[in-house]
Amino acid sequence: MSGQVGEFPGMAVHQRRLIRAPVNPLDKSTVVSILPKKISERKFTIQPGIFEIEPGTPDKPAVLVVGPSSWWREVDDSQPMLEIPVSSIQVADSIVRDYCVGLLACNMEDMKPGIFYIPGEWNVERIKKEHILILQSEERKQRKWLAELIRIADILWARSQGNPLSISEDARLACKILNIQNKPWQGDQVAMELVRCVACGALRNPLFPICGTCKAIVDKDLAKKLDLTFAQ
């Protein structure tokens, strides 16, 4: 039996063809983002499957117009792959849901990033004029989500004895968006790298004089400077 080097048994020698049908030019949807963070979504099972949305704000939303995509089903070795079209609304919904679902504190109802889609092709001016209520609603949901991220970050910071690795980048971004500047975990993460405790060897935050693991006073000068009082 003839074949090519590296060919699996039963694999067709000829190259399978992916022939896409003409695309409906009217099948378009617009993904809108008021989140000041670049979004990159990869859908490896459809074509086109790479979608990138620039950072946006409530005053200047970022928009991405998407068309239909396709995936292919195998019929048999003698025929081209069968194209299965995916509408632009399905593509846009997938972009929004795949990014948001699974994010910390996101419930896809009243707490979520300000990312949504509108059927049809829209620009920023038309969206701000004709969909201002949606923008306001999404901004409220986003602010509530950001506030919840900050609340969770405060809890994680306290429970981890000031471990900077417990704070997500989204929580730091939330402080920036909501203009909150009084959080102890907002500093440069590099400057807060953990060091080994000289007493027990566990990692600790050098900004605090007491080891959170063994409770030893490892920095007496800092403890004295802070004028700490310890129970006997």
The pLDDT value given to residue 230: 63
Alpha carbons 177 and 138: distance in angstroms, whole number: 15
Asked if the model's pLDDT at residue 17 lies above 70, the reply is: no
The pLDDT value given to residue 74: 84
For 64-108, the pLDDT digits (tens) are: 999 999 998 888 777 778 899 999 999 999 999 999 998 999 999
- Which of 42-46, 169-173, 196-200 is least confident? 196-200
- What is the mean predicted confidence (pLDDT) over 4-25? 62
- What is the mean predicted confidence (pLDDT) over 157-163? 86
Please count the CA atoms within 13 angstroms of the CA of 153 that sit on its side-chain side. 23
Q: Burial, 31: exposed, middle or buried (Cβ in 10 Å; 0-12, 13-18, 19+)? A: buried
Asked if the model's pLDDT at residue 207 lies above 60, the reply is: yes
Asked if the model's pLDDT at residue 14 lies above 80, the reply is: no
Report residue 137's pLDDT band, with 50, 70 and 90 as the boundaries: very high
Q: Please, what is the average pLDDT of the chain?
A: 87
Alpha carbons 42 and 48: distance in angstroms, whole number: 9
- What is the CB neighbour count within 10 angstroms for residue 202? 14
The pLDDT value given to residue 64: 98
- What is the mean predicted confidence (pLDDT) over 3-10? 49
- What is the mean predicted confidence (pLDDT) over 141-163? 94
Encoded amino acid at 42, one letter: R
Question: Domain boundaries in the chain?
Answer: 29-131, 194-232
H helices then E strands: how many in the chain? Answer: 5, 9
